Chains A and B, each alone.
Chain A
Amino acid sequence: MSAEDRLRRALEERASTVEPSVDAWATISSRRGPGSGLRSWILAAVAALTALALAGGVLALTRGDDAQQVTVGTAPGGLESGSEIVAVTTDGRCRPLRSTRRPTLARSSTRTARRPSTSPSIARLVRSMS
């Protein structure tokens, strides 16, 4: 008998002595746990939501500059009081400008008129809005 035949016979005999457990499926099921399927769904949902939120955030950041600030003018009533130069956004809201060089309006109070620099274009724009 060749070595290969002896190998086959010996390994087959070894395997024939093995008796698999009759309750193995119950063991596997208990180890798998009833919530494993649910857990995987929850993980997938959390991952999808996170990706969606990140994508939305990136989109908002990249588009925000173009969409928001479109016009420069005064807050309602601000022309008479000469109080503040604001940015008017597309949705109609006013936002104070943070610039350190505030332009002086032509029809503003004395205090505002004494300011050193005035932008003619802004003054024209504010006049047209009022």
Chain B
Amino acid sequence: MYRRSYAAMVRLAAVLLDDDHAAEEVTQDAFLAVDGHLAGVAPDARHAYLRRAVVNEVRSRARRAGRTKRRPVPLRVVEDSPEDVAVRDGETERVLAAVRALPDRQRECVVLRYYAQLGEREIADALGVSGGSVKTHLHRALRTLEAVLGEVEEAGAAESDDGGVT
């Protein structure tokens, strides 16, 4: 189980938390939390069980860190090292900044849908909410992201136009 799932779970936690070091700790906490319980889970459901534990640990950590409050959009809150940021292109960084600025629940839905490739029912199961709630969060998140990224693109285009003139 560890060999099959650990790396995937760390990456999922890292995308959710946007903090690689915290992602390792959270994933290890999740492995410890499910230790002794996995035997009672059907083999094909163990990955989902572990993923739910990781998401729960991520949410616990976010609550402890006081990140449950909605943050203003779209500040660039980057905790990675400059080397990490440098390897990403501008487009990726813009999208990630917009995702970071989403409310926690919307960000979790977005990551589970577009990174983990889960369906609405699986997301609902992982987050412990209803399928309708997931649909609402995803819809709102997409509208926000489209608006923010559209504005960013327009601003970028205007800047490049100004740069062309001068």
- Chain A positions within 8 Å of B, measured between CB atoms, are 3-4, 6-21, 24-25, 27-28, 31-32, 36-37, 40
Determine which of A20, A31, A40 lies in contact with B7 in the assembled complex, contact meaning CB atoms within 8 Å: A20
Is B55's beta carbon under 8 Å from chain A?
no
- Whether B92 contacts A10 by the Cβ 8 Å rule is yes
- Output the least CB separation between A8 and chain B (Å): 5
**Is B28 touching A4 in the complex (CB atoms < 8 A)?**
no
Q: How far is A11 from B96 in the complex, measured between Cα atoms in Å? A: 7
Known: A11-B95, A11-B96, A17-B84. 16 other contacts (CB 8 A): A6-B95, A9-B92, A10-B95, A11-B110, A13-B88, A13-B92, A17-B87, A18-B10, A18-B20, A20-B7, A20-B10, A24-B10, A24-B28, A25-B2, A31-B32, A32-B35
Q: How far is the CA of A124 from the CA of B102 in the complex (A)?
A: 94
- Using CB atoms, name the residue of chain B closest to A3: B146
B1-47, CB < 8 A from A: 2, 6-7, 10-12, 14-15, 18, 20, 23-24, 27-28, 31-32, 35-36
Query: Would you give the shortest CB distance from B154 to chain A, in whole angstroms?
Result: 15
**Which residues of B lie under 8 Å from residue A12 when comparing CB positions?**
115
Number of interface residues of B (CB under 8 A): 35
A21 contact from B2, B18, B24, B99, Cβ within 8 A: B24
Give CA–CA (A6, B150) in the complex, Å. Answer: 12
Which of A6, A14, A20 has the most chain B CB atoms closer than 10 A to its own CB? A14
Residues of chain B having any CB pair with chain A under 8 Å: 2, 6-7, 10-12, 14-15, 18, 20, 23-24, 27-28, 31-32, 35-36, 80, 84, 87-88, 91-92, 95-96, 99, 110-111, 114-115, 142, 145-146, 149
Q: Are B7 and A10 in contact (CB under 8 A)?
A: no
Residue pair A31, B14 in contact (C-beta under 8 Å): no
Q: State the Cβ distance, A87 to closest chain B Cβ, in Å.
A: 54
Q: Name the residue in A8, A20, A31 with the highest tally of chain B Cβ atoms < 10 Å from its Cβ.
A: A20
Do residues A7 and B7 form an inter-chain contact, with CB atoms below 8 A? Answer: no
Q: By the criterion CB–CB under 8 Å, are B10 and A10 in contact?
A: no
